[in-house]
Structure 1
Amino acid sequence: MDATRDAVGVDRDELAGVVDLFDALTREELRSALSELAYRRGDEFDADAADGAIDAAVDAYALVEHDDTLFAGPTAFPTLPANAEDLPHIMDVPERRVDREALGEAVRVRVAADAEAAIADGDEDRMASLLDVCYDVEAWAPVSLDDTRAALDRRL
């Protein structure tokens, strides 16, 4: 069981699955969904743990935050946790349109910046992780990370 599941009862892919169920959610909406799922499991909801789980999922590119909205990210395999199928009937979430090009470009810029930082720090583990993320992002959005991937390859 991973630390996210221990903290909020769902793993990163399930966080992405909840977000994907609605196409996109704000952090507050995702916290509300997690609170509802905790209630249905008979668990207490820990808002701080939820915030930490969301932050960790964003750091891992399982969730992507753009314009104050969360989207299922390129490294996620969105999966619905138990009882999540009822969330759309319980929560009042406005319909949102996703501009995949703008979202992809924002992620491309973030990956490039993260790669530059990892290279500058000499963090080979992070560089290797970001190299994998490059491939995931390119499959997920209409962007190219050729230059970033080449820079990471050179350093690894």
Structure 2
Amino acid sequence: MLTDDELAGICDLFGALTREELREARSELAFRRGREAGPEDRIEAAIESYALVEFDGLVLAGPAAFPTLPEGAGDLPHILDVPEREVDREALGEAVLDRLSTEDAAIAREVSYDVEAWAPVDASRARDGEQERL
């Protein structure tokens, strides 16, 4: 089973993937390793932990991830027909801040530092406990 950081590494390899493309990448890697891809809810769990984020129908490496390419992932661009994608980091950061505004204050504070290092946004209100609107 791939770790959150490995899922993030796969997304980072392409810039961003749809959920279906990420599922396909997981399946390809599992097949090459002779293993199972793991539970279907792995992507959702990585999104919940901020290792991945979803934005405009795409899944990207999130602020809590340390993207790592799993063994064999370097071949994925040759296997999958997926274009490289770029996403507006500021808009992405704002979307994550909106999501943080609905989180528990402790989680929001913890993730806020990661968000600031990951996207050009100011997350200080999350650290200060202002949960109304980040």
Q: Same fold (TM over 0.5)?
A: yes
Instruction: Identify the residue that residue 105 of structure 1 maps to in structure 2.
Output: 94
User: Offset of 1:132 from its aligned partner?
Assistant: 1.5
1:24 Cα deviation after fit:
0.3
Task: Give 1:94 deviation, angstroms.
Answer: 2.0
Deviation at 1:44, TM superposition (A): 3.4
- Aligned residue for 1:34? 26
Provide the aligned C-alpha RMSD in A.
1.3
User: What is the SS of the residue equivalent to 2:101?
Assistant: helix
Larger Rg: 1
Alignment of 1:2-151 (within 5 A): 9-45=1-37, 49-50=39-40, 52-114=41-103, 118=104, 127-151=105-129
Specify every segment of 5 or more residues in structure 1 that has no aligned partner in the other structure, as ranges. 1-8, 119-126
Deviation readout 1:83-107 (Å, 9 max, x if unpaired): 1110001000023221111101101
2:53 maps to a residue whose letter is V
Q: Percent identity?
A: 59
Query: Shift in Å at residue 59 of structure 1?
Result: 0.5
Q: CA deviation at 1:151?
A: 1.2
Aligned residues: 130
Looking at secondary structure, tell me which structure has more helix per residue: 1
What TM-score, normalized by structure 1, do the two folds share? 0.79
Q: Equivalent residue of 2:129, what SS?
A: helix
